[in-house]
Amino acid sequence: MLDVPAPIREALEALYRAFAEVPRPLHLVGCPCCSGRVDLARLAAAPLKDLAEEDLALYAAKAITTVGGATDFVYFVPRLLELLVSNALRVDVEIVLGKLGLAELASWPPALSAAVDGLLWAELIERVRAEELIPIDEWLCGIALATPNLAPWLRRLSQAEPLVLPPVIRRLQGRLRTEWSPGAFWEGAASSLVQLQSWIREAPGGRETLYDERGLFAIKLLPDGALWISVDRERGAGVVETKSRRLTDAESMAVWNGDAETARALAWQVHDGHDEALASDPK
């Protein structure tokens, strides 16, 4: 098995166990135009774990639509997903996971669909914890193409990873604010895209701006994690001074959740205690 983090390795092992009784295709057929470069005989004859990226890449792109059928595809799922989560398959995540939807994953025997869900979840969590924005986009889109409803996955993320979600959601918010173009793959999962956009906008505790109760300053979280402090020195005269610095993860989390005490402390630190408007309250 390829080198992957322990939770993903465990999910892969469970996947192979669940699919152990899935029969090998006796033969594969495909349209001559699309399958000419796919070694169909090797795919049907070689042990599953012996199939390499060069054996499966073109098949992964053509499966079901022009090479083989849904029943054939099920047999190859463990190896395809192993290569995918190991970053060893040069095929778009959305294409490979989209094949699960074409093969009607939701209708598979519960043991098979649960094993696939377990691996997809383990990989998604790993990417969330690493704050890899673009791969998270890809995996959320892929899951949306594989399953009929993205909402349960988003709720599960909110419950399972409240401490690491804020920076990820902030970056996604930033992409939405800058007219993020989700990409063509989302056209096949339009309703799930709406669910994702709603989840991003309504993230629990998702404060982007926190104001001091006296109106002396505001802290704004930006997509790159920067901090802006605005101090109205003349109390209503409209003269505003802005300074900034990077937030630590703990500070970002505190502002995200509306911690006013941390906000005042951050304002004091950024202004080095020299701002007269804040000098009376350095907390």
Tell me which residue has tokens 């505003």.
240
User: Which residue range is the domain that position 264 belongs to?
Assistant: 209-279
Residues 166 and 226 in one domain: no
Q: Answer yes or no: is 33 within a domain.
A: yes
Residues 189 and 59 in one domain: yes
Residues 85 and 64 in one domain: yes
Domain count, the chain: 2
Which pTM does this prediction carry?
A: 0.71
pLDDT (tens digit per residue) in 49-81 = 999 999 999 999 999 999 889 999 999 999 999
Instruction: Tell me the average confidence (pLDDT) per consecutive run of 10 residues in the chain, 283 residues long.
Output: 86 98 87 67 89 92 92 96 94 97 96 98 89 78 95 87 67 58 83 85 56 54 51 43 59 62 62 42 37
Residues 221 and 183 in one domain: no
Q: Answer yes or no: is 252 within a domain.
A: yes
Q: Of 36, 210, 13, 247, nearest to 118 (Cα)?
A: 13
Q: Answer yes or no: is 1 within a domain.
A: no
Residues 171 and 237 in one domain: no
Residues 100 and 216 in one domain: no
Q: What is the DSSP letter of 273?
A: T
At 275 the pLDDT is: 41
Q: How many CB atoms lie within 10 A of CB 253?
A: 19
pLDDT (tens digit per residue) in 208-242 = 555 555 555 555 555 444 455 554 444 443 334 55
Q: Answer yes or no: is 145 within a domain.
A: yes
Q: Answer yes or no: is 204 within a domain.
A: no
